[in-house]
């Protein structure tokens, strides 16, 4: 299912793709390009070496006892790669798997922030499909929920550290992680997927760019991107990618708080003005810059909270939209 993004070519007449073959710890293309598979996770993007320059600490990290990790990050500085990774995992493992964690999350971010999104996915899972994909799958909870309503599911995520935990959890392995208490002080927590584990035969996780995923286009019945539109350099390109992956008659599910940041994207890339939700729905309805028009089947405002530490959290109202490709 994975294709080589390095030699993929598109003309007005055709799209040329080559699939990748597994050879030991590598995925190999007939064009000669090779992509690493680390801890069961393939890293497939046009320039994996450039990505590894910044992600290498996450790629080579090991499963260490929680008290050792806490000691390694205690000295800081806050913006060093490993402390930032541990903080990121604290936030998103709680957000995705906090309902199964021991002890449960505390502080202003206590509770299970992904519940509303999961309820929407569960509602769609009653309408089973063959193939589903999530762009920006993070630590994997939505992948687990999508698998309940799909024969096979694919997850694409740029953060290798998050994706490695997703692979472990979906394999049915309990994991131990650090939950941020305050500053660089952490306490130990653990979680597991339990009955939400997904056999490897039914899912594929790949470390790749959501704006350029190494996937065959036009084959997915359900395409999901939750809280990703405002976290990529080009929200319009993300909608274009979702449209390209979705087969005719398939559906796209997207959420976003539209919390635009100049550090993530240029001003010119932001969608809409005071109400981007209206603009996103209009783009899909009209098929603007897309291959097809979409029928909006469901819209809602959902709560979403990210626990930062025992004394702080960030709460959002996220716009949820489900649309059918016509």
pLDDT value of position 133: 98
Cβ–Cβ under 8 Å, residues 206 and 154: yes
Q: To the nearest 10°, the Cα dihedral for 84, 88, 94, 97?
A: -130
Written as six digits, the tokens of 5 are 């993004």
Residue 178's pLDDT band (cuts 50, 70, 90): very high
The CATH code that applies to domain 9-325 is 3.40.50.150
* Per-residue pLDDT tens digits for 203-254: 999 999 999 999 999 999 999 999 999 999 999 999 999 999 999 999 999 9
pLDDT value of position 261: 95
The crossing angle, in degrees rounded to 10, of helices 235-245 and 276-286 is: 40
Give the residue among 225, 265, 256, 266 at the shortest CA–CA distance from 243.
Answer: 225
Count of positions (residues) in the chain? 326
| Single pTM value for the model | 0.96
Distance CA 115, CA 109 (A): 13
* Per-residue pLDDT tens digits for 29-57: 999 999 999 999 999 998 888 888 888 88
* Per-residue pLDDT tens digits for 62-97: 899 999 999 999 988 999 999 999 999 999 999 999
Give the residue among 271, 273, 243, 237 at the shortest CA–CA distance from 256.
Answer: 271
Report domain extents, the chain.
9-325
Distance CA 252, CA 238 (A): 12
Q: To the nearest 10°, the Cα dihedral for 110, 112, 113, 117?
A: -170
Cβ–Cβ under 8 Å, residues 144 and 166: no
């Amino acid at each position: 299912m994975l294709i080589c993004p390095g030699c993929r070519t598109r003309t007005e007449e055709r799209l040329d793709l080559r699939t990748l073959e597994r050879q030991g710890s590598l995925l190999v293309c007939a064009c000669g390009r090779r992509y690493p598979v680390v801890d069961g996770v393939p890293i497939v993007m046009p320039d994996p070496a450039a990505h590894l320059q910044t992600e290498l600490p996450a790629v080579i990290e090991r499963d260490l006892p929680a008290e050792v990790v806490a000691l390694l990050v205690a000295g800081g500085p806050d913006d060093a790669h490993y402390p930032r990774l541990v903080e990121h995992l604290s936030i998103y493992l709680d957000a995705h798997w906090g309902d199964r964690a021991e002890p449960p999350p505390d502080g202003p971010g206590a509770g299970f922030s992904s519940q509303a999104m999961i309820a929407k996915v569960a509602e769609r899972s009653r309408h089973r499909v063959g193939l589903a994909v999530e762009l920006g799958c993070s630590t994997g909870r939505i992948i687990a929920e999508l698998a309940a309503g799909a024969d096979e599911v694919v997850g694409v995520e740029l953060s290798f550290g998050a994706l490695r935990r997703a692979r472990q959890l979906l394999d049915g392995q309990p994991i131990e992680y650090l939950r941020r208490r305050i500053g660089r002080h952490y306490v130990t927590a653990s979680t597991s997927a339990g009955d939400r584990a997904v056999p490897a035969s039914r899912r594929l996780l790949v470390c790749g760019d959501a704006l350029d995923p190494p996937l065959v286009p036009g084959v997915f019945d359900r395409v999901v991107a939750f809280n990703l539109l405002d976290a990529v350099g080009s929200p319009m390109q993300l909608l274009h990618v979702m449209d390209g992956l979705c087969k005719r008659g398939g559906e796209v599910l997207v959420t976003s708080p539209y919390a635009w940041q100049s550090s993530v994207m240029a001003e010119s890339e932001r969608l809409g003005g005071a109400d981007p939700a209206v603009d996103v729905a209009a783009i899909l309805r009209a098929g603007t810059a897309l291959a097809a028009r979409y029928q909006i089947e469901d819209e809602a405002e959902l709560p979403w909270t990210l626990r930062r530490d025992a004394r702080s959290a960030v709460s959002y109202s996220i716009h949820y939209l489900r649309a059918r490709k016509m």
